[in-house]
């Protein structure tokens, strides 16, 4: 039994408000031999500096920077230790201080957290957060083995060398406890592949049906290929600043009102049952008759912890009511349903209702993964958490169309804007959230962004 003390549940606070002032990214591809990782990061940083209507030039912006954060999941993939040093040099930031953050799939989210801590404390006042991953040097099977080396090498990795199998164990248990229909899981894959169609950045856009997903080849029962995230190469950058610096750089900064982190055992096996940690909007007796172990294999304590802290920190009383847009870490359809419950969109066991109600779609109450997510758009791991926040940032600035609808954006990546393109800008979006997630829930961050 894990027992949390009052110190453990203290709500984090920033000494100074933290703002996001600019965002940039590359497109994401299965293979990207045309560009080195440094070129990808330069491209993403240049988009942030030059295409966000900033009031300062690229050179002026660079001279304002006093600390950098780099985000890369696995040195294995890029086969270059200290890659951040090459990128820092390529971006011309020497001799400024930097750190590289590593928390698996949640590296992007934690890198933004690290940058936010620097700004919030006054340690720095302008911090680029640069995320990248080069996953195209090895065949997919070797890539899966590399990813599974982020499971316990003594007791788990050998059992499949495949994270999908570890998630499938959770999926089967979730199905046994809560009986979510396969159709509901399939709808998530259909939605996210579908939204990816309207993104020039996306790697795996598809117009598919629920039947296509149900008939698709299984990777690990019950998860099919169409229900799993892509493996990508690409980069994403965002720039954080304190209030004074933010308004020097842009007239439209977006406030990062919270970014909070939670963790749980790397091995799903080790998760001992405990009392449900309730979110601000969950009544005291909500889980009085809950029949199953919590978190068990059906829930992510790390996500619940991150949401608990972030909602309190940002003053979110009820996520579905108070948020206008959301990006989840949809590594697999099943983990998306689990996350809906962990972050309180529905009580435990009822996550499917968030999909079935239609709230998750564009035009619904809380559109989710309009970027196409990890299933449809990208999972260049170190870039992922930053990409998600970038997409929310542009949505809150009402600039989604600028980065997605302009035919020249598509031409830039050798693509043609599709005839069935949809405008996915959420009208009057004021508040958004993004979830970054590692392992089978070993690390999770939740970021909350708010229009000023």
Partner 1 sequence: MSIELTQPGCELLSAQPVVIKNVKNYFHIHTYGGLSPFFAGLREGKLLGTRCGNASCEEQRIFLPPRTHCPDCLSPSVWVEAPTVGEIYTHTEILYPGAGFKLTTPCPLISVSLEGVCTKMMSYLKEGQPRIGMKIKAVFNMEHPTHTILDLAWVPA
Angle at 107 between CA 440 and CA 54, to 5 degrees: 140
Helices H / strands E in the chain, number of each: 17, 11
- Note whether 268 binds partner 1 by CB under 8 A: yes
Binding mask 211-250 for partner 1 (x = CB under 8 A): -------xxxxx----------------------------
Q: What is the dihedral of CA 43, 44, 46, 52, to 10 degrees?
A: 140
What is the Cα 413 distance to its own chain's centre? 22
Supply φ then ψ for residue 394, to 5 degrees: -65, -35
The H-or-E segment that residue 175 falls in is: helix 163-178
- For residue 101, give the DSSP letter: E
Q: What minimum distance in Å lies between the beta carbon of 274 and partner 1?
A: 11
- Note whether 165 binds partner 1 by CB under 8 A: yes
Q: What minimum distance in Å lies between the beta carbon of 147 and partner 1?
A: 7
Q: What minimum distance in Å lies between the beta carbon of 294 and partner 1?
A: 14
- Note whether 169 binds partner 1 by CB under 8 A: yes
Q: Which residues touch 210 (CB under 8 Å, ≥6 apart)?
A: 183, 186, 187, 190
Sign of the Cα torsion 194, 195, 196, 198 reads positive
The H-or-E segment that residue 243 falls in is: helix 243-249
Binding mask 358-397 for partner 1 (x = CB under 8 A): ----------------------------------------
Q: Which of 33, 283, 289, 420 binds partner 1 (CB under 8 A)?
A: 33
- Note whether 275 binds partner 1 by CB under 8 A: no
Q: What minimum distance in Å lies between the beta carbon of 441 and partner 1?
A: 15
Q: Which of 42, 68, 126, 162 binds partner 1 (CB under 8 A)?
A: 162
Supply φ then ψ for residue 407, to 5 degrees: -55, -25
| Residue whose C-alpha is closest to residue 448's, from 324, 358, 341 | 324
Closest to partner 1 by CB, 222 vs 364, is 222
Q: Which of 100, 156, 242, 341 binds partner 1 (CB under 8 A)?
A: 156
Per 3-state DSSP, the chain is made up of helix, strand and coil in percentages (nearest 5) of 40, 15, 45
- Note whether 272 binds partner 1 by CB under 8 A: yes
Binding mask 59-98 for partner 1 (x = CB under 8 A): --------------------x-------------------
Closest to partner 1 by CB, 64 vs 145, is 145
- Note whether 173 binds partner 1 by CB under 8 A: yes
Provide the binding-site residues for partner 1, judged by CB under 8 A: 1, 3, 33-34, 79, 137, 139, 141-145, 147-148, 152-156, 158-162, 164-166, 168-173, 176, 218-222, 267-272, 297
């Amino acid at each position: 039994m894990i027992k949390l003390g009052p110190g453990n549940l203290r709500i984090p606070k920033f000494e100074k408000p933290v703002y996001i002032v600019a965002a940039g990214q590359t497109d994401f591809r299965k293979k990207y031999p045309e560009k080195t990782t440094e070129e990808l990061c330069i491209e993403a940083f240049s988009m942030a500096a030059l295409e966000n209507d900033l009031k300062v030039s690229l050179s002026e912006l660079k001279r304002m920077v006093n600390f950098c954060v780099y985000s890369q999941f696995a040195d294995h993939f890029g086969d270059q230790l200290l890659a951040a040093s090459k990128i820092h040099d390529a971006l011309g930031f020497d001799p400024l201080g930097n750190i590289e953050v590593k928390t698996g799939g949640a590296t992007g989210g934690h890198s933004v957290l690290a940058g936010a801590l620097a700004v919030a404390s006054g340690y720095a006042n302008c911090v680029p957060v640069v995320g990248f991953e080069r996953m195209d040097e090895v065949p997919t099977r070797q890539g899966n083995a590399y990813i599974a080396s982020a499971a316990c090498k003594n007791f788990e990795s050998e059992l499949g060398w495949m994270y999908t199998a570890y998630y499938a164990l959770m999926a089967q248990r979730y199905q046994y406890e809560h009986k979510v229909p396969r159709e509901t899981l399939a709808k998530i894959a259909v939605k996210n592949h579908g939204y990816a169609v309207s993104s020039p950045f996306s790697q795996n856009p598809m117009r598919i049906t629920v039947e296509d997903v149900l008939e698709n080849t299984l990777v690990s029962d019950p998860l099919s290929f169409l229900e799993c995230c892509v493996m990508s190469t690409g980069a994403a950058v965002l720039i954080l600043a304190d209030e004074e610096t933010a308004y020097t750089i842009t007239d439209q900064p977006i406030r990062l009102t919270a970014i909070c982190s939670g963790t749980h055992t790397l091995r799903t096996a080790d998760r001992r049952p405990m009392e449900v940690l309730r979110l601000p909007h969950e009544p005291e007796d909500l889980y009085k008759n809950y029949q199953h172990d919590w978190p068990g294999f059906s829930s992510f304590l790390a996500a619940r912890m991150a949401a608990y802290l972030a909602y309190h920190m940002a003053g979110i009383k009820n996520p579905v009511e108070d948020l206008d847009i959301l990006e989840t870490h949809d590594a697999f359809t099943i983990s998306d349903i689990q996350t809906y419950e962990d972050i309180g969109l529905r009580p435990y066991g009822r996550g499917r209702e968030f999909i079935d109600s239609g709230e998750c779609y564009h035009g619904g109450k809380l559109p989710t993964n309009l970027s196409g997510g990890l299933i449809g758009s990208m999972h260049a791991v170190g870039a992922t958490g930053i990409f998600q926040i970038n997409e929310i940032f542009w949505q809150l600035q009402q600039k989604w169309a600028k980065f997605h609808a302009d035919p020249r954006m598509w031409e830039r990546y050798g693509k043609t804007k599709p005839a069935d393109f949809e405008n996915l800008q959420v009208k009057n979006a004021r508040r958004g959230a993004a979830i970054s997630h590692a392992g089978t829930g070993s690390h999770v961050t939740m970021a909350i962004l708010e229009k000023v």
